[in-house]
Amino acid sequence: MLFADIPPDYPLARDEIFGPVQAMIPFDTEQDAIANGTDYGLVASIWTRDGVRQMRLARALRTGRVFFNNYGADGGVELPFGGIGKSGHGRGKGGEAL
């Protein structure tokens, strides 16, 4: 389910919601886009045609994984994965986890 125009202080934007849910939060500047007021950081998605902007934002975001121009699957079992802050418990998966 896609929710558009979510205010940054709304619970849907601040809490970690599980399920097929995506909250779109409008912003005016890049700084507004990375000013994250949540304790969670599992996955982010950046949508832009500007490759330099993609990398600049990806480096600035506090999140476990960043997708560019999509929001995809979790990857294979060979790839470690985890979140930031209260998201996840360390880095699971990968050869070491097996």
Chunk the chain into consecutive blocks of 10 residues (it has 98) and report each block's average pLDDT, rounded to whole numbers: 87 82 83 81 86 92 86 65 74 62
Q: Are 87 and 64 in contact (CB under 8 A)?
A: yes
CATH number for the domain that contains residue 43: 3.40.309.10
Predicted pLDDT at 55: 93
Q: How many domains does the chain have?
A: 1
In 3D, which of 82, 32, 38 has the Cα closest to residue 57?
32
CB 90 within 8 A of CB 82: yes
Q: Is 14 left (phi over 0), alpha (psi -120 to 50) or beta?
A: alpha
- pLDDT score at 50: 93
pTM here is 0.69
Note down the domain range covering 49: 2-97
